[in-house]
């Protein structure tokens, strides 16, 4: 913990920002939004994209994939990269009636994804 300033507040050093996260609370103390530090990004739109949850649908009905917000991840060699949690969903595998769509997730694959390195 960095040294505290007057009034109980603390000012982190620049090296501490990669570990920062932010949680917005409503008036009842419930978390309503979160954010994370994103280094080396110039544009506001690009920063917003990295902090967004992205969901893809098939025909507007079933979620087929989703990407979580970008956050820092450490690779096996100790390198830090910006990575997202990527989910893929498969529906109705082995369904009893091949002509009926049940819209039931039968397989979920979760893996890290990074545009800067293989996470």
pLDDT digits (tens, 9 = 90+) for 77-89: 988 888 899 999 9
Q: What percent of the chain has pLDDT over 70?
A: 74
Measured in residues, the chain has a length of 119
Copy the structure tokens of residue 88.
Answer: 């893929």
CA distance 40 to 46: 11
Over residues 42-65, the mean pLDDT reads 81
Copy the structure tokens of residue 65.
Answer: 């994939």
E-assigned strands of 18-114?
A: 21-25, 31-36, 54-58, 62-67, 71-74, 80-91, 105-113
pLDDT higher at 56 or 40: 56
- Comparing CA positions, the residue from 93, 116, 117 lying closest to residue 105 is 93
């Amino acid at each position: 913990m960095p040294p505290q300033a007057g009034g109980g507040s603390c000012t982190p050093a620049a090296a501490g920002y990669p570990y920062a996260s932010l949680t917005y609370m409503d008036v009842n103390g419930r978390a309503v939004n979160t954010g994370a530090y994103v280094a080396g990004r110039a544009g506001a739109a690009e920063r917003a994209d990295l902090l967004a949850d992205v969901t893809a649908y098939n025909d507007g009905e079933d979620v087929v994939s989703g990407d979580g917000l970008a956050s820092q991840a450490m690779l096996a060699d100790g390198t830090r990269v910006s990575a997202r949690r990527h989910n893929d969903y498969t529906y109705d595998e082995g369904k009893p009636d091949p002509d009926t769509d049940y819209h039931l997730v039968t397989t979920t694959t979760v893996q890290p994804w990074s545009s800067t390195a293989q996470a």
